[in-house]
Structure formats: structure tokens, C-alpha cells
Copies of this chain bind each other. A is one copy, B any other.
Amino acid sequence: MGQVEKRLQELGIQLPELVSPKGSYVLFKQVGDLIFVSGQSAFQGEEALYPGRVGAEVTVEQAREAACETGKLILAILQQAAGTLDRIEIVKVTGYVASTPEFSQQPLVMNALSDLFSQILGERGRHVRATIATSNLAFHCCVEAETVARLLP
């Protein structure tokens, strides 16, 4: 068990079980020391956790919770890819937030995921980010995040 896994235990954070991709793709792929992770969203069983758009059906707090759960999912995938999160550095996150035209605080939502990465991985969790508003997302999810990480030696 790595240092990061110990920290997760201390924080009482349990990473979710991996589920099969919801389409014809793989969860992650490594090229050199880069690990590319497929777009992830938080689900509750078969349904999106908090379906809809922020500003209408979904509140900022709910979207932040979905972003945080999405972050845990990404960490679970990276743990499987690397064996332990001790070898993971987050490079880039592209976050998509389903939003009404009026809602413009998408970064507030994605901060929940970014802060989780920093809390768990420390300096290695700090990353480059782009946050995009979309009119909706697959399966009516409110948040989706695409990640590039680095595998440390």
C-alpha cells in the first residue's frame, strides 16, 4: 500500500469500484510516461448522479459533489493504471459542466475536483485545467472530466 493510499485511508476516502466504459473505448491508455484517461462522470447505479444542467435542475453544490465523485473515479482508474497513486502526477484536466446559458461559475464546480486532487496528491495533484460550459452531456450528467496524468518512475 502506497503513501497516498494510506492518506486516503486516514481521510476516510474510499475510491469507487471501476465500471466498464459506457461505449467502445478503454478507460486509460499509456504512451511513454503519459497516461490518458477517458472522460468520466459520476453515476448512481445506471443513472447520472444529479442529472441536468447547473442553473436549472442542478445546484452548484450538487455539481461540486458530482465533480468530487468524478475525481475519485479518475483516481481509481489511475491507481489501477499505475499500481499505486504514489507514482501519479496529474497533468491536465478538461472539465465540462452542463450549464444554463446564464450560469457562468463553471470554475467553482471544477474546483471541487481540482481541490480533491491537491488534497490527496499534494503538489503532484496540481494541474493545468480548462473548464467548458456545455448545453448538456451524455446521459444528462452535469459534469464530465477528461484527464492526462504522468507516470513517475
Contacts and interface: CB of A to CB of B under 8 A. Distances in A.
Interface of A: 21-29, 31-34, 36-39, 53, 91-94, 96, 98-99, 101-108, 110-111, 114-115, 118, 126-140, 144, 146, 148, 150
Given A104-B136, A104-B139, A129 B99 contact: no
Contacts of A24: 110-111, 114-115, 118, 129
Contacts of A101: 53, 135-136
Given A104-B140, A107-B138, A138-B106, A131 B29 contact: no
Contacts of A132: 39, 96, 132, 134, 137, 144
19 contacts: A24-B110, A24-B114, A24-B129, A26-B128, A28-B128, A29-B91, A29-B126, A32-B33, A36-B128, A38-B129, A38-B130, A39-B94, A39-B130, A101-B135, A132-B132, A133-B135, A133-B138, A134-B134, A134-B135
